[in-house]
A and B are shown apart, each in its own frame.
Chain A
Amino acid sequence: MRIGIDVGGTFTDFLLTLDDGTSEIYKTLSTPDDPSIATMRGIGEMAEKHGKDVADFLGGVDVIVHGTTVTTNAVLTYGGAKTGLLTTDGVRDALEMRRGIREEQYNNFYKNVEPLVERYLRIPVKERLGYSGETIIPLDISTVEDGVKRFQKKGVEAVAVCFMNSFANGEHEEMAANVVREKLPDAYLTVSSEFLPSIRFYDRVSTTVLNSYVGPILKHYLDALIKRLGEVKFGGVLLIMQSNGGVIAPEIASDNAAVTLLSGPAGGPVAGIAYCDIQGYSDSITMDMGGTSFDTALVKNREPFVTTVGEINRLRLALPMLNVVTIGAGGGSIGWIDEGGLLRMGPKSAGAKPGPACYGLGGELPACTDADLVLGYLDPEFFAGGRIKLDKSKAEAAIKTHVADKIGMTVEEAAAGMYNVINTNMAAAVREVAVKHGQDPRDFPLVVAGGAGPNHACMIALELEIPVMIIPRESSIFCAAGMLMSDLKHNFVRTYATMLRDADVNKFKSIFEEMKTGGIRLLKSENISEENVEFIYSLDLRYLNQYHEVSVEIPARLVEKADFAAMAKEFHPKHNRLYGYSLEEEGTGVELINIRLVAVGRTKKPSFLEQEFHGESPEHAKKGERRAWLPKQKEFADVQVYDAFALRNGNRLEGPAILEQVNTTTFVTPEYNVLVDRYGSYTVYLKEKEKAIRKRIES
């Protein structure tokens, strides 16, 4: 058995997959003070359901994959460790100044972000390396010692070391680090030249500090979790989700805590790959709409897109992470009228408390869920399986006061407008994630997840002319599912600056070999045998004299042949797609800057249980009819409601339709039909695509 655990802000989601391929979904309330409590409680519930005590139950569990937002929350709430920074004299304020940006230029009330290390704990160290790593001022160790003394006095728990130009030479940093190790042996330590040896001082200092700031929090949390699991004799493998969509051993995560900072939505694209595989798609767009935020990502050739220029809370995080676009759109997003009389949705959210007006918990502003209720998509008696009763009159009152009356519409028209606007916002995010990579969203199936996602997906797809959606049966705990499908992943980067065509073949190959050896070593320590190891090769390339690179994936055969001309051929079209031109014809030289390798340890994936063909008729799953708004036709109609869980392989139904599950509701607009695939996922497709879709699913 395998367990995927996704700790969220409100709920902790669990997916248990059994050896026969079936799976079970569990959800418990999160416990933010010590998230391992909710984790253990959920495991307890599973054991109970299976009639075993926890130790017995865990005896049958091989793998637990765990995603945590403890580091994310530590940054967002300034709840990280008290951190000190040792940095070159003269540049200690780079961390706080953030290159002097004010993101909202016309807003004089917009404040800078508080730095994670206050100025009095940013210690200037006398030393200096030149631009190529040569020593200009030798390290004055006494300035390090004085700094460390201040750290001791002020109760510093974590230290970051980041010197100018240390990407080219780590000696000074290493000498300073040794003082910290000796004098502050319990402090969590991050040394920039080991952690992120790449050029750009602000990026490096910010990322190094982030790692130290969240390191002790993650380490403490994982230690507690391992201890609790040890108490109940868990003998399997525990793996931790990273922002890059891969998993790693907890010991490695503890030392590189920043790799988990944006791991929350990272399970999504991985799950998307698995669900699309079933139907033979190698590309997809995933979307996950929860209570406050909407995450979307692009998958191409079974690989999600990765970026190295991310941010968390406006602080630079220069580590590989899945390129997930997040916007403020969810069931709690609030509708309002701006000064020009235009209807807007979000980014403000009603959150869990007070929640949308229809929750009856004191919320007075109209949220997306209120509109969904008024439009008939939600059953007031069956929200969250009936655990939360929705009050339609409160939803109507909120929409009337704050939206409808202000623009002279009826409540229902206003609700339809809210539904449309939020769908447009989400569609724009989906488009952005596709367009950013020069892709046309119409070419991709949309994989839909999150509690609110299936209710809105058809209109997002229609807006973008996306013909096919896949809504997994486990869509409400999508990320937990993704975690179980993740491979082990280690990223390596080495700088080798040269004209690509002049690169030294031996050096080029030996850099890759060296990184491969490192990858194999790490993966071995994580119990991955060599036949399950794979490598992904890429190069950061640019035209001569440019200062930013395009990361281009290179097929293994070109690396083996060291065919530099063919590598450049991969670069030109990508540059044109992204930036509107290529200099291939002009013959402008292509420069190589970085060589990158991802070492992947393929893990055993849970197998899905194939359902027997159940016939086309969905009659057995019919629950009744409900009056619901058809957005394109702009009218209410009686819409057939189905028990989604009762639908089986081969069942086919026509839109408009509503599919109800305990944790989510799917609204199928009249433009689409639904076919259940052999693993129980709902494939929603444009009516005119019927033939092609059936062929694909049935083969």
Chain B
Amino acid sequence: MAKNKIDKILVSILQRRFKSIVEEMSIAITMTTRSPILCEAQDFVTGLYDAHGKMLEQKENLPILSFSLGPVCEYIVDFFGDDIHAGDVIFHNDVFSMGNQNNDVAVYKPIFHGDTLVGWAAAKGHQADIGGAVRGGYNPQATEVWQEALRIPPVKVYEKGKKKKDVWGLIFANIRLKMVEEDMTAQMGSCTVGERGVQALIERYGLGVFDSHKQYLFDATEKMMRSEIRQIPNGVYEGEATGYYDGKNPGSKYTIRVKITVEDEDIHFDFTGTDPQTPGFVNGTFTSSASAVMLTFLQMVNPDIPHNDGMVRPVHINIPEGTVINASYPAATTYGNHLCPITASAIQRALAPVIPERVTAEWNSLLCSLSTGMDPRKGEPYVDICFMGLKGGSGGIQGCDGYDHIGMIDASGGVLDQDYEMFEQQTPHRLIRHELWKDSAGAGKWRGGLGVTTEIELGGEGNKFITFGEGDVEPPLGHHGGKPGSLNKIELHYPGGEVYHPTTKDLVNDVPAGTIYYQEAGGGAGCGNPKERPVQHVVDDVRNEKVSVEAAREAYGVVVDPGTLEVDEAETAKLRKP
């Protein structure tokens, strides 16, 4: 075979191998980390990159983290230049050198074949703590990055296989929890798994063949993406969506505006006109916002497109600096990942009229909480994000109901609930209730996904609660006659009977044991006229207490006897008459 001849079959083999390697890397993190945010909820991503930092493949449990791994890798390649060696390990989280969020700390490991740098393995996870003013990270009072976190621009913690004890010591001296050190070690292990996988591939096929076939894979993938974009009519489409409360000024709001230009096989997302950055931590970074664009758009194209550099090439993103989704140095930005639902809504609103068959009605926006304090059973601090409580429903789409309890669009079902029993082992709290929330979904011919209600009795000492999110003002909007979804809410019921209603960006100190934490994560919006939903589907939902008898009548025009579940055909026909 001539040196540059492409064996198309080998291209498929490489793509499959990359995919299975990033999956093995992901399994390694789940199985070895300590923080429930990682080992239970899987709030992490893994990826492989070529020598230049171009994406080969990613495992995107949380896509909002994924699409900054590549840009940071390119930054690292540029930063270290020829000072990259086998056995180096590099840490990074800095949001002003392409990181997406302070708490999302990445490990990069260069992969060598002999003396040649051939690629990178990377693993990034949401760490239980990253220094800054508040344990757990989210500090709604922050106005600059140093109040939020320890900044880690690219830094070598291992050089040529030798641990740099001084650097290592400096980093972990500024992080509260020992667990983080252990979890970063686990992420390094994951990168070693990736390194071994790629090295074995190159040993097998040779570097020349590897490079030429990788290039061909990028090109084939780009072609797939271009053919997807070609199916969207050319034109300029605009959309906007608003978030509420910047954590500082009651009544404040911020609007994200997008102009989408489709030109044959290229698509441009231009956010010029988006509101300026806020004084608090409600600010995004370029890469977290670009991730939000990618993950929203990827839901509108063929889901089987391989994820590599070729996929990204026809997608062009412009986010002016100084806006709320690309804040200037040294802004606080920890909230940035959670602007994703707003960015997603702006894009969906722009494209829904153009490709209605591919755009869902709106999803529940994320409202989340992080709790931290001492676990007296262990004599150790705990940190947990209440993943089970935050996961609302997705929007319906023509031909398919929304997905119940899928959670924020940033993850789209890639992040999991804590197992209930593991939750009670890992935190001092006790779960009272975690159930699908009746009537929370927007009605529609294809209804929205249901949200959930969660009640937790708090244990622990010195508990702090931090809330962050949206979705308490505007419910998600329905499409084509579908009804809106429902709002989010968090309440703290203190043992004395007092009820505290935190804002959507709040820090609540000294929450005593015995307090009941109550959360509603809303349902997604519906798609299509609810009176066209098949009667049997409505009856099924009534029987399973997902839709009430009243809502069946009012929203769907289906009259059901609450005892027998029999349908009053005549009355139903009357109510459903157009």
Contact = CB atoms under 8 A, between A and B. Distances in A.
B514 interface: no
Contacts of A94: 420, 434
B175 to A, nearest CB: 16
SS class of chain A's interface: helix, strand, loop or mixed?
A: loop
A201 interface: yes
B304 A338 contact: yes
Interface stretch (A275-283, A354-362, A531-539, A573-581): A573-581
A674 interface: no
Nearest to A436: B24
Interface string B375-407: 000000000000110010010010111011111
Interface string B62-74: 0100000000000
B107 to A, nearest CB: 11
A106 B388 contact: no
Given A91-B420, A203-B419, A579 B190 contact: yes
A428 B546 CA distance: 43
The number of chain A residues touching the other chain, given as a range, is: 35 or more
B182 interface: yes
A340 B220 contact: yes
Contacts of A130: 424, 430
Contact of A109 (B397, B415, B426): B397
B9 A581 contact: no
A108 B397 contact: yes
A548 B39 contact: yes
Given A102-B413, A165-B421, A424-B9, A90 B432 contact: yes
Contacts of A93: 434-436, 452
B422 A200 contact: yes
A435 interface: yes
Nearest to A344: B12
A342 B11 contact: yes
A135 to B, nearest CB: 13
Interface in A81-112: 89-94, 96-97, 99-112
Given A90-B431, A339-B302, A340-B220, A421 B12 contact: yes
B272 interface: no
B545 A421 contact: no
Contact of A119 (B12, B36, B299, B546): B546
A428 B17 contact: yes
Contacts of B36: 547
Contact of A547 (B11, B39, B399): B39
A579 B31 contact: yes
A579 B434 contact: no
Contacts of A545: 34, 179, 182
Contacts of B452: 93, 97
Given A112-B403, A424-B13, A99 B394 contact: no
Given A91-B434, A417-B8, A546-B33, A167 B16 contact: no
Nearest to B32: A579
B302 A119 contact: no
Interface residues of B, number: 85
A578 to B, nearest CB: 7
A238 interface: no
Given A93-B436, A341-B223, A424-B16, A547 B24 contact: no
A131 interface: yes
A162 B26 CA distance: 31
A100 B179 contact: no
Given A108-B394, A547-B40, A100 B417 contact: yes
Interface stretch (B191-199, B263-271, B567-575): B191-199
Interface string B293-306: 00100110011100
A120 interface: yes
B287 interface: no
B185 interface: yes
B24 A435 contact: yes
B185 A581 contact: yes
A517 to B, nearest CB: 29
B224 interface: yes
A691 B406 CA distance: 59
Most buried by A among B302, B424, B436: B424
B8 A343 contact: yes
Most buried by B among A106, A109, A130: A106
A201 B8 CA distance: 46
A339 B224 contact: yes
A200 B422 CA distance: 6
B405 A106 contact: no
A505 interface: no
B397 A105 contact: no
B188 interface: yes
Interface in B516-561: 543-546
B193 A579 contact: yes
B12 A424 contact: yes
Most buried by B among A167, A199, A342: A342
B414 interface: yes
B383 to A, nearest CB: 13
B256 interface: no
B421 A201 contact: yes
A545 B32 CA distance: 9
Interface string A318-349: 00000000000000000000111111100000
Contacts of B302: 339
Interface in A340-384: 340-344
Contacts of B501: none
A42 B371 CA distance: 64
B336 to A, nearest CB: 20
B299 A108 contact: yes
B189 interface: yes
B9 A97 contact: no
Interface string B189-217: 11111001100000000000000000000
Given A93-B434, A339-B228, A105 B191 contact: no
Nearest to A131: B424
Contact of B543 (A107, A120, A546): A120
A96 B436 contact: yes
Most buried by B among A93, A417, A463, A579: A579
A261 interface: no
Contacts of A643: none
16 contacts: A91-B431, A91-B435, A92-B435, A100-B406, A100-B415, A101-B416, A107-B303, A111-B403, A200-B421, A202-B419, A427-B13, A431-B17, A431-B20, A432-B20, A575-B32, A580-B191
Interface of A: 89-94, 96-97, 99-112, 118-120, 130-131, 136, 164-165, 167, 199-203, 338-344, 417, 420-421, 424-425, 427-428, 431-432, 435-436, 463, 543, 545-548, 550, 575, 578-581, 583
Q: Give 5 nearest A-B pairs by CB, closest first.
A: A102-B413, A580-B192, A580-B189, A581-B189, A90-B433
Given A93-B434, A112-B404, A131-B425, 7 more contacts: A90-B431, A90-B455, A91-B433, A104-B303, A108-B360, A203-B419, A578-B28
